Amino acid sequence: EPEVTQTPSHQVTQMGQEVILRCVPISNHLYFYWYRQILGQKVEFLVSFYNNEISEKSEIFDDQFSVERPDGSNFTLKIRSTKLEDSAMYFCASRATGAGELFFGEGSRLTVL
């Protein structure tokens, strides 16, 4: 069964460092998302991406964040200068249509020291 894959599974970084989280969505999907979940809390929307541009973004997704689809398969989330409060699990998700179910990856745990 096709699945969304994310790397790395866990990354530890120092405050102020840049981090890139990578995702390979399901191959025939056209809509891509990043969510984050601080331990024990809700799943928070960060950004949606379609047709090589951002569709929607949340207030969390400030200038420190960016997304990119550098080739036909990868979808990346970059955090330019990490803060302690960026520590969270980051989930990538994709779906085939704009009204369908989301398929989530297993997540990338980011720890900022």
Partner 1 sequence: QQPVQSPQAVILREGEDAVINCSSSKALYSVHWYRQKHGEAPVFLMILLKGGEQKGHEKISASFNEKKQQSSLYLTASQLSYSGTYFCGTELNTDKLIFGTGTRLQVFP
Summarize as ranges the residues that interact with partner 1 (CB under 8 A).
Answer: 31, 33, 35, 41-45, 48, 50, 55-56, 58, 91, 98-107
Nearer Cβ to partner 1 (19/33): 33
**Smallest distance, Å, CB 79 to partner 1?**
20
**Smallest distance, Å, CB 33 to partner 1?**
8
Beta bridge partners of 71: none
**Smallest distance, Å, CB 10 to partner 1?**
12
Q: Which residues contact 76 (CB under 8 A, 6 or more apart)?
A: 20, 21, 22, 23, 67, 68, 69, 70
> Residues 107, 38: contact at Cβ < 8 Å?
no
